[in-house]
Amino acid sequence: MTYVVDENCIKCKLMDCVEVCPVDCFYEGENMLVIHPEECIDCGVCEPECPIEAIHPDTEDNMEKWVELNKVYADKWPNINEKKPPPSDSKEWENVENKFEKYFSDKPGK
């Protein structure tokens, strides 16, 4: 089992989650974070820290796509273990649907 980040994170990228992970298994893309499924110890601490509910256990329905995405990009993107300032327009992207198709960036974070 693992926890994973889903498309709610895209362009919101609040980063409250990285501060609490005991094993530092978050990885940073240009406009979202992912969790490394093999490094996550399933502690569940990060799930309530995300203000917009972008983190879920893979035991929920329809999570396969997000597990795969987290796995692929955790291997490509740099590790992040400290919160940075979120994007200035972060708030505008909360609750926007289907962000993955239109806005997902495969570029790494800086």
- Among ligand F3S, ligand SF4, none, the one that 14 touches (CB under a kind-dependent 5 to 8 A) is ligand F3S
Q: Are 70 and 4 in contact (CB under 8 A)?
A: yes
Nearer to ligand SF4, 22 or 85 (CB): 22
Q: Are 9 and 33 in contact (CB under 8 A)?
A: yes
d(CA 46, CA 19): 9
Please list every residue from 19 through 58 that binds ligand SF4, using CB under 6 A: 20-21, 23, 25, 35, 40-46
User: What is the radius of gyration, based on Cα positions, of the chain?
Assistant: 12
Nearer to ligand SF4, 12 or 25 (CB): 25
Nearer to ligand F3S, 91 or 102 (CB): 91
33-35 and 26-28 beta bridge pairing: antiparallel
The footprint of ligand SF4 (CB under 6 A) covers 3, 20-21, 23, 25, 35, 40-46
